[in-house]
Each structure stands twice: as structure tokens, then as C-alpha cells.
Structure 1
Amino acid sequence: MQTSTKALSGAVADIDDLHHEKLLKAIFNLSLWNFGPDVIDALLELIVSLAASNGKHVDSCLDMLVSNFTPPNKVLDMLKQPRGLEKKERVLPRVHAALKNISELVPMAASRLSSIVLEQMPWKSKRNVDQWSMKRQLIYVENMFKLESGAIREFVGANMLKDVMNVLRDLDVAIGWDDILHDDSSKGVFMIELEDENYADGDEDADELPSTLSEKSLSKNLTAELLDSLMVQTFEHLESSVSNKRLSEVFDTLLSSFKDTVLNTYKSKFTQFVMFYACALDPEHCGTEFASELIDMFVGGHNPLTRMSAVAYLASFLARGKFLPPAFVASYLGRLVDWCWQYCVMHDGDMNPKLHQVFYSGCQAMMYILCFRMRLMVEIPLLKSQLFCMPIDKIFKHKLDPLKVCLPSIVEEFLKQAKAARLFTSSKTFVFEDLLVSNLSRDFGGLERLDMFFPFDPCLLKNADRSFIRPNYVYWKYVRTTYHEDIDDDDEEDGSDGEVEGAAEFDDDMEEVIISRSYGDNDLEMDEFDYAMNKMSITPRNNSSAGLRMPSRIRPSMSPESL
């Protein structure tokens, strides 16, 4: 076969599409995985020659090469064995070399390649995930990443990343809430599930997850298993981009894809952690660019839903990013508070959740960030001064009355910490007695919004979380609040201070650019305010003796309209 194939390579100019149709079809249907290296080399020489000799054959040649991204089932089943790995190393580098050769000989080929890769994607052709489709998808995406970082990345790299993000998003959305939730104790619009007091032995973050929202819920879900594996592949690709000094280039594409693909996908639960991990790898560049883009979208002229999504992502990112130093968080919190205060100045009307939903989303984001970060900020004199100069109390005393509209669990925790930190300059008593999810909160959130107020809630994908996200993530049980005294030093050793190695150096740089704000007559001597509220549980259960717990996951109702 090697000899006849080489002979054909020398006679490609004489091959006629009509007279040799069956021959061409047979060649294009060949699987390189069935041959030894000499035959593979001869076949690829023929494919490259066909593409270069006749423009009509370019798509067919590219189709043939892309189809060899995945092996036949008999080889697919042994890819983790030495024999399977040997075949993989024999075929795939040669396939990518052939794609490079064709792209150099036929300039139009590179532009066609992206479309062909997308068309042949296994996820596009088969929506029901089984073990075979899972293995095919994994090796296919591995090849997409090879294209993204390979010799022709200038022509196809950005498209490969965007297509992978689309795959992650599609799989993410395919994992419906029914696959995660099995508790219909609450009906109606979206509601917050409080963190469960009890957690499984040996799972250090289980108390962050309600009992109905855990990795166990997804343990037998093949779609979730595939998504988990693809997320791991993506994280590993990001790490290789760091090694190759390409993360900045890759991140620019990811950020563009995030805005187009993920930001306004209301049921996205996991895909956004690609952005989170990229920022963890380079907080100074990627983290700054991500946070800046989000705050700019919120204060800019985008539509209300995009602005609400952006500020939700910003709040969750600043609260959960263990790699973000307090000064970094304070700088973006300051911009958020500035906008909310200016909104109050410009709007003198009364409370209206639907009309002012963007404002209320900003206020809720502000409180959520401070629930996680207030203790860290008040322990640093410069940041404490900056925080106490922000007009936070003026915002909450305004007639728009955000404390009555935002989610009660966040308001309660925020007020409790603000009281302990003596944050407010006014002697006014803040009372928030209606601790059930009110119609005001529902009007502000709407059916499509409350399911994503905290986009970076704990990741339920086992491998992606434990190997990549967890070391960079702030869990609520490790947060040092302003009203709790340190019992021992163990929590700090576990990372309860929300910082990781390298954050201090980044923090020093941030402090140099922070300018302390002044908003008029703010007396830094705080008058302690009275604070009374009933303990509450969003879900109907008898738990009146339990202490306050922050919301971990927003749970949709089981009503059809909410899905």
C-alpha cells in the first residue's frame, strides 16, 4: 500500500474528480490509526498533494485529517494503555504537521479549517452522552487545544478557544437544575438555600454546599462527568499557556468569549470557572482585566440584564478569589459604591424594585463583597480609612431603601458585620424585620435573575474543583467576620484570611494607587447602632437555634416557568 500511495502522490495532477470518484472516496475514508508509520507518511503526503493540486479537494482533505482526531472505537478503548498511547503518538503529530503543510501551501485552507473542526465536533452530532462519546469528545478537544497552541494558531487559535467555551457552555446548560436538586420543599420563584450546618465527614468544603447541592448529586451524571473532564483539560491548557508565556493572549480571547457566551447565560453553573482559574494564574494582569471589564459593563450603557449579570460576577469574583489582595478588592468596591451613591443623588424617588433593579443589584453586590471581605479591610489602616469614608450609610438611608429590596440573608449578614465594625457614621437604627423573601426582592430579581446572583458559588465538579479551584477559593466557613474573635490559628493556616502566596506583593502595588476618598462630613467616631432582627430560614425548616449562615447556592423553584 505504501508503494501505490506514493505512486498516486506523483500523479495527483491526472486524478479526475468524476472518473476517480470511488478512489478519492476510499482515500478520504481511510483511518490513519489502522496503519504503521510508513503507510501513514505516504497517505499524508498524498493528502497534502491533493489539497495543493486542486482547490476542489481542500475541504475533503481537511475533513479527512480532522476525522482522524479521533480513533476507531477499538483504539479509543485502549488510549490509556501503552499500545494505545503509542498509536496516538504515531498518528496525531503527523496529522497536525499535515494541517500545517496544507495551510502553508493553500492560504485559504486555514480559514476553512475552523469551520470543519466545528462541524465534526462529536458534541454537535450526538447530544446524548455515553462512555464512547465522552472519550471521543475528550481527545477531540485535546486536538483543538493543539491547534490553538500550534504552528497555525495565528489563523485558528481564537476560534478553537471560543468553540471549546461554547462546548463547555452547552454541556453546562444541559445539566439542568433537576440533575442537581432533588428537594422541592419550596415552591415559587427562585430562593436562596442557606448553608447546611452538617456536612459529610472528610469533605472539607461540604458545609458550603446544601445537602441537595453536592458533588454526589452529579456523581452518576455522564454529562457532568464529561464537563468535569473537559474543564480539567481546559485548566491544564491554561497552565501550559503560562509556561509558554501566552496566557495574556489566551485570556483576551477567553474574555471576549465569556462576554459573548457565558455572561448572559442565566443557567451557567460551571463554565465561568475557566475565567476564575485564568485569573488565579495571573491575578495582576488577568484578574485586573476581568474585574475592570465587569465594573465597566456595570457602570456603562449596557442593557439592564447585562449590567446585573456583570455586577453579580464582579461581586462573586471579589468575594471568592483567594488570590485577590484586600487593596485590590477595596479599589473595585470603591468604584461600585461611587456609582451607587451617584445614582442616589440623581434619583430622588421612592423605592421601586423594577424601575431601579440595576441600582439594587449594585447594592446587593456591595453588601455581598463586604460580607466576605470586611474583616480583612478593617484590619488594614489605609483600607479601613478608605472604607469608612465611603458613603455606604447614606446609600442605605436613601429613600430607594435597598435594605428592603435586596436578599434578606445578605442584608442580615452585612448589617451584623457592619455593626461589629462600627461602619456607619449615623446613629440611625437599621431595622430589617421582614426576613422572608419578599415580593420586593422578587420584583428586583425576576424569574431569570436570582439563579445567578452568585456565579462563583462552590464548583460541584469534583476533579475541576479539588485539583484547580479549591486552592484558590474562599469558602464561607473560613471567612473571619468582624463579629467573631479568632479562636485559634488553625483557620489562618487553612487560608481563612483569603490570601495566598504572592497576594501580599500584589497588595503592596495596589496600595500605591489607592487614593483615600472623602465624601464630606464623615465623623470617624462611630455611634453604635441598635440592631434587632429575627433569626430566619429561607426554606421552611425548624432551625431557629442555628447561627447565621451565608447563602451558598441560589436554588430555583421546581415550577415550570422558572426553568
Structure 2
Amino acid sequence: MIMDMADPNAGHQQMDEVFTDNELVHLVRNALKSIVLGDGKSYHDLIGVMHQKGPMSPDEVAMLVTCLKALSGAASSIDLTHHQALLSTIFSMSMWNYVPEIMDAIIDLVISMAASNGKYVDPCLSMLIRNFTPPYSFLRMMKQPRGLSIKEQVLSRVHSALEGISRLVPLAPMVLLTLIVQRMPRQNDNEDVLLMYVENMFRLESGSIGHLVGSTMFVAVVDRMIDLDLDIAWEDILQDDAGKGIFQLELDEINEIDDEIENDVNEPLGAQMNRMGVVGNAIAEKLDSLLALTFGHLESCQEQGRLNEVFGTLLNSFQTTVLTAYKSKFAQFVMFYACALDPEDCGVRFARTLLDIFVCNDYPPMTRMSAVAYLASYLARGKFISTDFVVEILRRLVDWCMDYCKIQNGDTNPELHRSFYSGCQAIMYVLCFRMRSLVHIPGFKSQLSRMPLESILKHRLDPLRVCLPSVVEEFLRQAKAAHLFTVSKTFVFDNLPESELSRTFGGLERLDMFFPFDPCLLKKSDRYVRPNYIFWSTVQTSFEDEEVSDQDDEEEGTHDGAMTIGDQDGFDIDEFDNALNKMSITPKNFKWGGDMQPLARMPSKLRPSTSPGSF
């Protein structure tokens, strides 16, 4: 009898006997009934066999496989009320502890139970999801060949079971979605556990039931990225030394921080963050690994021809989660990299979506400002974005700003007209990066002259006095060098050290200083982003041979209709240069939603920009 299997000696004798499958099932059913009839010895002997763990002899393996197969045939006889001990034993089994033969038997049993009774669908799926990750004692093996072999043996069977249950039980995918999201590791969980869990989520997304569960997988991963992102305090990455920003370090000093990544020597348009503060930050490093894993999956989607479909899910998730997360620091680079993989479709789609949000009055002002900040930063930084497309978006932004000017008769009011000022700043910011490449396009100057940009900048709403001074100053310098406008001495710029007007239009979140695609300071992620990215240092140094010095301009005066900046009495351009020593989306001591400290600014002595690569 099967009850004798609890005794090893009896078990050995029992294995010498030959039972048909039906006979084994009959024996197990009798054991299940015995507990109901008050004689539970056979039932408890069965549970004893199921409890075997650790190294097992061939006979013990055969005995456990026999019991599991027999239970699969008797799955309909397992009662939720009377067989709680057996159910608890089954659902606590970790396939990581067993040889492949036992793994197969466990999978067959779990599928049979889920198909036999709807009440078991939830616990069966939960048991499979728990096997996404190994016991903690196995984690150290996961990067070794043996560990990787066990990992594939387990996970291939887990996913086969999930797909099997989903085919047999129509409602199973909906239950699966809920359970996966609920059981997803939290921010403070082990990094290896989180990454392995997400690997399984992506495996489901690209598997046979991906059309049922895939979109939820991506949304859940992005949500976890945002959770991690927001847990990284600005104090952890802001530069402590006000006189020495990370982007002003000498190259050899930066290489000491990370000799594998060529960092920007002088990134004045980038966030004033300290890579040394990010490295060693457990949350940041966890987010970095998660981003790199996601980038790799996006590459796989592209190879499979599925990127466009996946991008739709990412774009929806971005609009509902990332766009409104004003403290987001790195998670948004998922969108940037997806666009880099498919510039002509995904890249264009992303920019046009952001533009549509900005020009639509149905969205709250803060959402519109965030959208145009993303748009400007994206157009400025994406090496893969065509110059023609940049011109197209700039034209639409200029047209919207001009239409806004036409219906406004009031004076400067940063809070009332914050969407307008954010649009103007976006135009100038993009031109800071793209001016050189654009003015070299045949006919671009004539195109720009047909855009009412000059009228917008001269409008009584006075965007030059409201937008971020560092952006305005750099834009005016480049426009002057490029001789963009025909009216001389049109623009005079006051020195506003604290930019009170700008601070007002930016609001509590300081969206006037929000350039979300400033350099990614995460080591693993940067390796993906860097080849597709325009750094300010590249823009700056590429124009050194064509510099028009401030001193020459002051001596010669305005020429060929170029703009002038310092015509006011008492205006000291050198003093202003010192004040605008660097520009950053996150200046020193800046705290979101808190009191504002003196701003860090971009150097004013920069050359008209040129863009590498496709430009």
C-alpha cells in the first residue's frame, strides 16, 4: 500500500511491485478518502513522502515522482477543506530543490489541479510565480554555469505551466496579471531577486500569452522604476562643492570615478549631479540594473519586429506615470532608448505626442509644461533625430506661441502665461543645441525668417525676461553669431541673478529648470544611451575654431543685423559671465517643493552649437 512509502525499507520493497497508472491513482484516492473517514494514516504517509527535500536517492526520487503523478490523476479528489495539509505541502514546493524528473511531475500536478477546480487556479499560479526566483541560498550560484543551468531548467517549466494553465482556464491570464503585480519585489528587496523577477515578466511579455499579459508587464516594470527613481534623494546626487561641479572635473578625475565610461568634462547644460554620489547608492544601482535589463529587452523586441507594438504600451505608461512624476531623474530614459532604436516611427511618435499634449488646453498647465520640457530636452539630446524633424517641431512650437501672442494684450505675468513661457524656453533651448546644424541647412535662415520667432521674443509678454536667464543668454549669443535676425539692437537683456520672474513661471516644481534628458549618470544605462546622445561638451568644443569673441563684438558693435545684449548703462558682461557659470536642471541645494536656493547657471562663453553624427 502507498502508506508503506513512509518507511524507506517498505518503500524499496514497494517499488519492486508493478502498478498500473490506474492502480496508483486508486491508491492515492483511497489515501485522500481515509482522512475523511477518520483513518488518516495513509493520508499522512502520503504527505510524508511529499515532504522529502535535499539530496535524494534514486529510489526516493522515484517514490516522489510516483506520488506526484498519482496525485495528478486524482486531482479532482483533492478537497479544499479536508486536505489543507496536503495542499500546503504542494504549494510550498520549490522546484529549485529538485531534479528535473521531480520538476516535471510537480508541473503536471499543478496544471491538473488548476484545470480540475477553479478554486485552485489562484494558489497554483501563485506557486508558479514564487518559483520565478530561487531560495536565497541559491542566489550566489546564479552567475555560475551550474546555477544558470538550474535556472533554465526551472523557469522553462514554470513558463510552460503558466501557458498551459492559461490555455485550459480562460480566466487564468487575468488572475495571473493581478498576482504578478502584487508579488513583484519592492524597492528594498534584493537586487538579484528583483532583476530575476522582471526577467520572468519580460519572458511572459514575449511568450505565447504575451498578447494577453504583455502590456501589464511593461506598465508594472515602469511603475517600479518610478518608485525606485523617487526613492533616490536629490541630496544623494547633487554636487556638494559649489565651486566644482562634476561636469567641470578634469577628464582624468572623472576616469578615477569610472574608468569605463568617458564622462563629459564640461556638461554645463546637464544636471549638476555627482556620479560619485550615485555610485554606491543601492537604490540608484538597482534602478540602473533594471534600466539596463529593460533596454536589453527592448532590443529583443526590435529584433522580433515587435518594438512598435511595445512602444504603444510604453507611451501610454509614460503619459500616466512618468510625465507627471516631476522628480523623475532616470526612469524616462526607457522612452529615450526605445526612440533611439526606431527613430522614424517611435522617435517621431514620441515627439508628436509630447507636442500634442503641450498645445492642448484640456491638460493641466503643469502637465503641459512637463510635456514641452521633455520635448525640448529630447530634441536637443537625441543624436538620432533628423534635422528636418527638429525644424518641423520648432515650426509648430513657434506657430503656437505666435497664436498665443495674438490673443494676449496684457503685460508680463509669469504665472498666468506659464505655458507660453515654457514653449518659448523650449524653442530657445533646442536652438542652443541645434543652432549650428540648422543654420548650415540651405534655406533654413529664410525658413526661420518666415517663422514669427522675432515677433514672439519682442512681444509685450517679454519671454526673454521671464525664461531661464542661462537659456536666454546662450540662445542670444548663438543667434547673434549666426546673424539670425535682421533688426539690430532689438534685444536687451537685464541681469536678473535670482530670476524671480522665471521662478514664478516655473512654479513650485521649478519646471523652468526641468530638462529631463540631461546626462544619465547611471553606469550600466549610460552605455546604452551614450551612442545615441548629444553631450554639451561635444556641442561646445566643435565650434572653437569659429568663435566670435565678446571683446571683438563690443569693439565692433552690432554687425550685419546681429543682436546685441549689453547695451544698457552699467551692464558688465564679465560680471554676468561669472554669474552664469553653469546651467543645471538641478542646481546646488535645490529641493523639489522646498525653498529655492541660488541657481547654478550655464557658462555664457559658449560657441554656436554643432551636432555630431547624423547632423
CA distance in 1, matches of 2:161, 2:546: 62
Q: Find the partner of 1:409 among 452, 465, 470.
A: 470
* Residue in 2 that maps onto 1:70: 133
* 8 A Cα contact 2:414 2:501, kept in partner: yes
Q: Find the partner of 1:43 among 106, 121, 142.
A: 106
CA distance in 2, matches of 1:527, 1:206: 35
Q: Find the partner of 2:529 among 454, 469, 490.
A: 469
CA distance in 2, matches of 1:98, 1:65: 8
CA distance in 2, matches of 1:145, 1:530: 55
Secondary structure at the aligned position of 2:266 is classed as helix
Return the letter of the residue paired with 1:554: T
Return the letter of the residue paired with 1:242: Q
Relative to structure 1, the CA distance from residue 198 to residue 536 in structure 2 (aligned partners, 3 Å threshold; closer, same or farther) is farther
* 8 A Cα contact 1:454 1:554, kept in partner: no
Secondary structure at the aligned position of 2:586 is classed as strand
* Residue in 2 that maps onto 1:262: 322
Relative to structure 1, the CA distance from residue 256 to residue 92 in structure 2 (aligned partners, 3 Å threshold; closer, same or farther) is same
CA distance in 2, matches of 1:150, 1:272: 26
* Residue in 1 that maps onto 2:565: 531
* 8 A Cα contact 1:52 1:105, kept in partner: yes
Q: Find the partner of 1:181 among 233, 238, 244.
A: 238
CA distance in 1, matches of 2:165, 2:144: 32
Q: Find the partner of 1:278 among 338, 343, 346.
A: 338
* Residue in 2 that maps onto 1:207: 266
Does 2:200 align with 1:153?
no
* Residue in 2 that maps onto 1:386: 447
- Displacement of 1:369 after TM fit? 0.3
* Residue in 1 that maps onto 2:612: none
Write out per-residue CA displacement over residues 101-125 of structure 1, whole angstroms, 9 at most, x where no aligned residue. 00000010001101100111111xx
- Displacement of 1:558 after TM fit? 5.2
**Is the deviation greater in 201-210 or in 281-290?**
201-210
* Residue in 2 that maps onto 1:94: 157
* 8 A Cα contact 2:272 2:588, kept in partner: no
- Displacement of 1:312 after TM fit? 0.3
Higher relative contact order (CA 8 A, sep 6+): 1
Describe how 1:49-198 pairs up with structure 2 within 5 A: 49-123=112-186, 127-129=187-189, 133-183=190-240, 196=248, 198=250
Relative to structure 1, the CA distance from residue 294 to residue 438 in structure 2 (aligned partners, 3 Å threshold; closer, same or farther) is same
Relative to structure 1, the CA distance from residue 242 to residue 483 in structure 2 (aligned partners, 3 Å threshold; closer, same or farther) is closer
* 8 A Cα contact 1:195 1:549, kept in partner: no
* Residue in 2 that maps onto 1:218: 278
Return the letter of the residue paired with 2:266: D
CA distance in 1, matches of 2:440, 2:331: 34
**Is the deviation greater in 255-264 or in 445-454?**
445-454
Q: Find the partner of 1:242 among 289, 302, 305.
A: 302
- Displacement of 1:214 after TM fit? 2.5
CA distance in 2, matches of 1:63, 1:447: 44
Does 2:507 align with 1:455?
no
Q: Who wins on radius of gyration, i.e. which is larger?
A: 2
Does 2:399 align with 1:347?
no
Does 2:83 align with 1:23?
no
* 8 A Cα contact 1:291 1:314, kept in partner: yes
* 8 A Cα contact 2:377 2:518, kept in partner: yes
* Residue in 2 that maps onto 1:330: 391
Secondary structure at the aligned position of 1:207 is classed as coil
Secondary structure at the aligned position of 1:284 is classed as helix
- Displacement of 1:405 after TM fit? 0.5
Secondary structure at the aligned position of 1:277 is classed as helix
Structure 1 gaps, min length 5: 187-192, 488-524
Relative to structure 1, the CA distance from residue 182 to residue 457 in structure 2 (aligned partners, 3 Å threshold; closer, same or farther) is closer
CA distance in 2, matches of 1:270, 1:537: 34
* Residue in 1 that maps onto 2:438: 377
CA distance in 2, matches of 1:336, 1:211: 25
Return the letter of the residue paired with 2:456: I
* 8 A Cα contact 1:184 1:557, kept in partner: no
* Residue in 2 that maps onto 1:516: none
Q: CA RMSD in A?
A: 2.4
Structure 2 gaps, min length 5: 1-63, 256-261, 548-558, 596-615
Describe how 1:307-318 pairs up with structure 2 within 5 A: 307-318=368-379
TM superposition score normalised by structure 2:
0.79
Does 2:427 align with 1:366?
yes
- Displacement of 1:262 after TM fit? 0.1
CA distance in 2, matches of 1:481, 1:531: 23
**Is the deviation greater in 195-204 or in 437-446?**
195-204
Does 2:482 align with 1:421?
yes
Relative to structure 1, the CA distance from residue 105 to residue 555 in structure 2 (aligned partners, 3 Å threshold; closer, same or farther) is same
Relative to structure 1, the CA distance from residue 28 to residue 451 in structure 2 (aligned partners, 3 Å threshold; closer, same or farther) is farther
Write out per-residue CA displacement over residues 64-110 of structure 1, whole angstroms, 9 at most, x where no aligned residue. 00000000112111100011001001100110000000000001000
Secondary structure at the aligned position of 1:455 is classed as coil
Relative to structure 1, the CA distance from residue 84 to residue 535 in structure 2 (aligned partners, 3 Å threshold; closer, same or farther) is farther
* 8 A Cα contact 1:393 1:425, kept in partner: no
Write out per-residue CA displacement over residues 4-59 of structure 1, whole angstroms, 9 at most, x where no aligned residue. 00000000111111111110011001101000111000000000000000000000
Relative to structure 1, the CA distance from residue 475 to residue 549 in structure 2 (aligned partners, 3 Å threshold; closer, same or farther) is farther
* 8 A Cα contact 1:476 1:550, kept in partner: no
Return the letter of the residue paired with 2:191: M
* Residue in 1 that maps onto 2:21: none
Return the letter of the residue paired with 1:562: G
- Displacement of 1:324 after TM fit? 0.8
Return the letter of the residue paired with 1:35: Y
